[in-house]
Structure 1
């Protein structure tokens, strides 16, 4: 884009970790002025509900039906996380809980063993380090794992961060910056001759998660959803999720442990147990029966948690797309950009999304990988 001012003003619509990270990149690293709009409390929603896993291998290496380059995008963002965490912690004066300890993927049945074999095959083909473990070996690395385990993987690519601390650190830095303003409530977008604008701003970034498509624009006195300016945004759907945390008692795992859809994440004296994936559901309050079933699945994976008291339970909504990959870049409407639809990888993909968006907004050169995640892409080609 071409801006009249050397210090463009960008409106970021949505203050979850994607919007906050984009604002951080634009304001703190590139010198742009940013206004963050959100109808909810900044940093909440899926960003707060997540467990903080940075898991390119487990989430994208062998998932069926995903964007063929999602794994590459996830790996690129994982590589950015060490520097991102260090820079953010230094600016905020508070740790974000970035942990380089490799995650473990365990199999409790033959189906899960087959999936882990697929992941290992993808990693081997790409020359990416990993360790195939027998039952005894994985239990030696993490004694909390059930002795019923059949085997597993150690994944040096798959790390973790304390997502809530990360969000808090982003808010600390951005609120202290003279380049950033926070606005509670919707942005007053308007459309004239098919072009969306916001008074006082040069460009807009829609980053409101699953609610991105329903951002409102005024045209001829009426309010319309943003999908009227890029129909692809209607493909961002919602996937409800429920999870809980228990006290980290003596039998708690020390590492991230995953098996199927269940994961255990040590975090701040607790162990997060997650998570359900419930398509087309917006869940704001966790359901007792679902939480208890999930707790039992966590205990099946790590029996030492059987008597650990429940500390908290919660629900959230992940934004997804048909190929489980985000939309990142300029929409078909000039001046309107999007960063949404990150599904289960919002925390992981925050740094690379922020860089791609900042490059696109400020006219910096972009690589081929960035261009494959725009709203103009076609679905169908799968990994």
Structure 2
């Protein structure tokens, strides 16, 4: 909505100013006023003429928010209310709800002169903070899980004062500055009216209570920093980035509030032999060209130890073979496991002894594949691209 203001004052329709219909109820008027006041308040809007627009919006709401003045305005127009109110604000006690509206509208504008966000007294139990710990695991520890000992440092409720922070035999007293509310209110008068500024009490830090005789064991804090050891269970099948929650092992709460939780983030070290793909384990083995041609039985290293595997005759390079149920247990269902996928690499020698060369040339002759410019190595290479 755009407002224009001539040099001489000319009354405008108050419903039009607020952008509402003539049958708008009280809540609709209030919502319209909040929206416009937030937009045109001089502390927020530095455009030329914003202060005049702001005054006109205030005047419109001041008239229409009171049933009696609204009725006179509806019947007689501006003439019926010409002696009512002003273009500014009245004192807080006479503002008809303006103070509450403005406190909620401008409570978020820190440094605007209206005070920062209003804070409520936190006199009840307060939950303690959560803590984080990064824990490194070896590859097999992540696969099979198990018990792990960790060391943490957290706040624990003081056993001497039971968390009150007061010396035994005494107790916290109501703050005399804020009367136990945890807040202080200050009335500020500006050219636009009077505003209530609400801030946290600096004497009690918003708790509403002060400790005159502090506990010697915790210095009045109600908690002490303690380093302790914990034994935690790592489930089978965890992976890099898995998060475990250890209940109530975070910082202690305030005023008998519950402790926070400890979150353990797992970091799995790389393994020199195995890799992981979901719940499958991946590795490679190298066999000789004779083992690949003739086939053989080999003991393969797995996460479970040595397992015998058959290499079929004529196995080609980069063939992937599978050992079922030798992978990673499924997290939450350790009975179900993945597989171990093994890539076969074949070692073709660059040099061979005369006896080997003689035998291979005989084999080449039998197959009708006398070596050409590739030599005997070329013949060996051809063996792994034909079945």
Question: What TM-score, normalized to structure 1?
Answer: 0.17
- Where relative contact order (Cα < 8 A, 6+ residues apart) is larger, the structure is 1
Query: Larger helix proportion, structure 1 or 2?
Result: 1
Question: What TM-score, normalized to structure 2?
Answer: 0.17
The structure number with the bigger radius of gyration is 2
